[in-house]
Amino acid sequence: MQVFNLEASQKKLNDTMKLAATYRGEYINEVAILEYLMEEIIVCYFTSGHKQKSLELIHAYFGSVACNFNTKRNLVIFIAEKYSEFKNIYTKMDAALQDIAAFRNIIAHQKLVLTPKVWNAFDNNTVFFSDTTTKDRKVIENQKKVNRAILDKEINKIKFTSNKCMELHRLIVEKLKT
């Protein structure tokens, strides 16, 4: 007869929760930096770099509930479409931003799967988040696997998009000077 080791099981549970918190923190931090860059593009484009108007836009809009990640995405893509230099990249940016938003919503808002089966199989690398969607008024719940390789791949999407946002911001600033 096999004896259940409660202490080892509790350690795996705690390690699972710690790793999930680490993954959440890393990802959300990268998204926060990207959102800041998106806001910089929007402010620069719509205020033409005017300092007082920039401050007013930041206070009036970016602090409001209406200004979520998807709204910022739509505005950044609207702006990117205005520049011929971004003609071949804005659709890739938009797709990346949609992927980032979807993964962010799971990481930020969904529950960590904490069944005994999951935490007892914990490998110090993989956690699972509950990915709940509704289709035809039925709740569909899947488990979203996240490990270091998946997280790094998702963070690389953010870095690619952040670099494109910085390029777009520089382009807007250059155009304002002419």
pLDDT digits (tens, 9 = 90+) for 139-154: 777 889 999 999 999 9
pLDDT, residue 103, reads 95
Q: Which helix (H) or strand (E) holds 146?
A: strand 138-146
CB 128 within 8 A of CB 113: yes
Helix pair angle (69-80, 148-177), 10° resolution? 50
- What does the block give as tokens for 12? 């795996």
DSSP 3: P
pLDDT, residue 1, reads 45
Position of tokens 């870095």?
A: 159
Position of tokens 């690619």?
A: 160
For 106-126, how does the pLDDT look when each residue is reduced to its tens digit (9 = 90+)?
Answer: 999 999 998 888 878 889 999
Position of tokens 């696997």?
A: 145
- The ranges assigned to domains in the chain are 6-177
Burial of 109 (0-12, 13-18, 19+ CB in 10 A): exposed
- The pTM of this model reads 0.85
